[in-house]
Each structure stands twice: as C-alpha cells, then as structure tokens.
Amino acid sequence: MSKVKNISGGPLDVPLLDRIVEAKEVVEVPDVQADGTSPIVWPPDKWEPVTVPLVAAEEAALPPPDEAAVTTETTEEEGA
C-alpha cells in the first residue's frame, strides 16, 4: 500500500476506493491491481506520491518505552 495526495484541484471519484477523494486529501491506495502483479499507475497530473517521514517510520517500528528503564536526574534546584 502507498499513500497519494489528490492534487487535481477538485474532488475525484475513485471507484477503486469506492469513494470520492477531496482536493488535497491524502489516501492509502493499493500498489498493484487485482491480479497481484500489474502496477497501478496514478496519473501524475492528478495524484502526488506521499512519503512517510523516515523518523516517523522508525518511531512506529520501535517498541513502546519501558517506564521502569527511564531514569531522571535530580537538579541542584531540586535539592540534589
């Protein structure tokens, strides 16, 4: 699956998604057709690929932090 943004300037009826995609809306779309191998070509005058920032992708892959492993330092103001 990929994400694309509607850059056409207006709403687009997308039967593949069974809905209308509004201008500037980002949607998740399949990369291949029903046969599983033929790529779907999204016309570049209507759609722009959206990339997920690498930092967000890396953070999503990380397990949640272990609260017990988090340490805090005491500052002089706190009376260390």
pTM for the complete prediction?
0.62
Domain ranges of the chain: 2-78
Give the per-residue pLDDT at 63: 73
pLDDT in tens, 46-80: 999 998 776 666 666 777 766 555 555 555 555 55
Contact residues for 4 (Cβ-Cβ < 8 A; gap 6+) = 26, 27, 29, 42, 47, 48, 49, 50
* Greater model confidence, 39 or 75: 39
Contact residues for 24 (Cβ-Cβ < 8 A; gap 6+) = 5, 6, 7
Mean pLDDT value of segment 5-33:
95
Give the N- to C-terminal CA distance of the chain in Å, as an integer.
52
